[in-house]
Amino acid sequence: MKKIKLNRDYLITYGMVILFYIIMTILKGTGNLTSLFSGLLVPICVYSILAVSLNLTVGILGELSLGHAGFMCVGAFSSAFFSMCMKDVITNSFVRFLIALLISAFVAAFFGIIIGIPVLRLRGDYLAIVTLAFGEIIKNIVNILYVGRDSDGMHISIKDSISLGLKDDGKVIINGAQGITGTPHDSNFTIGIILLLITLFVVLNFMHSRSGRAVMAIRDNRIAAESIGINISKYKLMAFSISAALAGIAGCLYAHNLSTLNALPKNFGYNMSIMILVYVVLGGIGNIRGSIIAATILTVLPELLRGFSDYRMLIYSVVLIALMLFNASPGAIEFKEKYSIKRLLSKKTKTKEVQ
């Protein structure tokens, strides 16, 4: 019979991330990393955080969210907007980034709560439909939003940058479809890894606490959870807003890694939301470590396949299907159980005891 995973199990997850960081830092230091690949390091962190946070909604809460890129978008723009405004006021980039992070988390969580309050009360696939719409709406609103600042204060328009009516000393911060240009480059790989570890810390500890147990009870059987006095709406909303806040943090990391931030279908659209869902499904629903591995592989893969030029996406999809088949095949499951890290570790300790 299958035993429930022990808490010790997630030390392996932390270890894996730290090991990845050390190897990448060494490779970078010795110059063995191509510039293409080192440019992928922060995106790997961004997508891993997104995958882990979506796994909280899909795997732990058991609800389908198709607008995770929307929360990322909200977090990215709110934090980039803050950093642009405060560029000259707060010169310490670490402090500025820290405040930007908190803002992105709060704004994304706020949107999560606004969406969650009406929708999480419903049953079925309503959350998927509403979050899908939310992602698209946010992307389109950001694309027509013009915000500028001059000595009089903020000016907002949804027409164009001229109608902002800025004075001579004014500056356009969000320029519609061109987005935000000149965001300070405050994030790097180390910060990304730290944020990923924080995300893991929050999600894993949440899972193994009273609230996480309540959330998983709701996932397994809503009616039974209600019958033992668990407040369904409260815990669903809690898990969903934490998930949204973490996606906002990923957005902040993303925004501060690029000098130009604009909302395209490619980075904040429907495709991105589906991509994050693919990371979660491929890594295993409810499997946090799997999400990180899948996000890493699928972020690196398109770049590795660049040599195939036109056939790139074709090969990418074939690899994706092959990986899914492999993951679900009985042979692979048996192999994984036989050679899992946990099993190997416990074997070692056993042989030690014998000696």
Partner 1 sequence: MALLDVNNLGISFGGLRAVDNFEVHIQKGELYGLIGPNGAGKTTVFNMLTGVYKPTDGIIKLDDKNITGMKTTQINQEGIARTFQNIRLFTKLSVLDNVKAGLHNDYAYSTIAGIFRLPKYYRTEKAMDEKAMELLSVFDLDKEAKLSAGNLPYGKQRKLEIARALATNPKLLLLDEPAAGMNPNETKELMDTIQLIRKKFDMTILLIEHDMKLVSGICERLTVLNFGQVLAQGKTADVLNDPEVIKAYLGE
Chain residues that interact with partner 1, rule: CB under 8 A: 1-4, 201-202, 205-206, 209-214, 216-217, 219-221, 223-232, 238, 286
Min dist CB 209 to partner 1, Å, is: 3
Q: How far apart are CA 109 and CA 246, in angstroms?
A: 8
Tell me which amino acid residue 69 is. Answer: A
Q: Judged by CB, which is closer to partner 1: 1, or 89?
A: 1
- Helix 270-283, helix 288-304: angle, nearest 10: 120
CB 58 to partner 1: min, Å: 14
Closer residue to partner 1 (CB): 167 or 208: 208
Residue 27 or 64 with smaller CB distance to partner 1: 64
Residue bearing tokens 């509403």? 130
3-state secondary structure (DSSP) of residue 147: strand
According to DSSP, the β-strands at 146-150 and 153-157 are: antiparallel
| Cα(199)–Cα(191) distance, integer angstroms | 12
Separation of alpha carbons 107 and 95, rounded Å: 18
CB of 238 to partner 1, least distance (A): 6
Minimum separation from the CB atom of position 76 to partner 1 (A): 24
Q: What are the Cα distances from residue 16, in Å, to 19, 192, 237, 289, 343?
A: 5, 15, 30, 9, 16
The two structure tokens encoding residue 40: 């992928």
Q: Smaller CB distance to partner 1: residue 208 or 336? A: 208
Min dist. Cβ of residue 212 to partner 1 (A)? 7
Nearer to partner 1, 223 or 354 (CB): 223
Sheet arrangement for strand 146-150: 153-157, 146-150, 171-175, 180-181, 260-261
**C-beta neighbour count of 247 within 10 angstroms:** 35
User: Are the C-beta atoms of 239 and 56 separated by less than 8 Å?
Assistant: yes
DSSP for residue 56: I
- By beta-carbon proximity to partner 1, the closer residue of 41 and 214 is 214
119, two tokens:
């929708």
Quote the CA–CA distance of 127 and 64 in Å, as a whole number: 6
170 vs 284 by CB, closer to partner 1: 284
Axis-axis angle for helices 93-119, 126-144 (nearest 10) = 130
Structure tokens at 71: 């929360």
Angle ∠(306,294,310) on CA atoms, nearest 5: 20
Nearer to partner 1, 4 or 89 (CB): 4
Name which of 141 and 217 has its Cβ closer to partner 1: 217
